[in-house]
Chains A and B, each alone.
Chain A
Amino acid sequence: MQRTPPDLPSNDKRWKLVNATMRRNGYAGHALIESLHAVQDAFGFLDEEAMTFVAGSLDLPLSKVYGVATFYHLFMLKPQGRHSCVVCTGTACYIKGAGALIEGIQERFGAAPGETTEDKSLSVLTARCVGACGLAPAVVLDGHVIGKLGTEQLCERIEREIAE
């Protein structure tokens, strides 16, 4: 029997993007990770509504979707700030002082790795090597890799981004 995928959760156009990804993969269960990437690209994070929708569309138990979403570091279950600052904590960056950057950011903005500032302006994250070891310590600020910055310069840079 042909299974009909569930209706889109709302009129929000972003659901169509998510749905297009799932349709392109024939609503196959093995496209779960691609589908969650599509949700996160569109909405910035995964909430229960989105996971329920993906589970229904791919005919998977919600527990499996939740299991996968929490297994992988890249998937966010909470809304993120307007700006994101990912500090690389790979070996080269560690040697070149990534720890000091994290402390400095926490001191200035009051957000530890994994947290978002209260005014939702900045999310601080860490990554296990972004592969920019030549620029260590590397930071990915709103998708752009920047490197070789000290704590002071980095914090100023972040403040400029937030102010814009």
Chain B
Amino acid sequence: MATLHLVSHSPFTDSRLASCLRLLDSDDALLLMGDAVYALCNGTSFREELESLAASISVFALTEDLQARDLTQTLPIRVKSIGYPEFVKLSCHYLRINSWL
């Protein structure tokens, strides 16, 4: 009964990611896109928090947003970079999609 959460705001100026992380269930997934991928910057508390999430929670980031921000080389091992075809597959796999608008 798992949920795919979509977050697109920078965690440094906005509380959406923080709120989302508190409500994640152990089998949920998180897809970071837009400025939310800044959460993956080296040496930040958000990156640490994402790295320490339960292993059962899948974390994804949209490839085009990582590329645009030059973040592809420093991706944590547990974060998978995906394109739109995989985004579609995830939307089918998870039972509901919670967009943090």
Verify that A and B bind, or say they do not: no
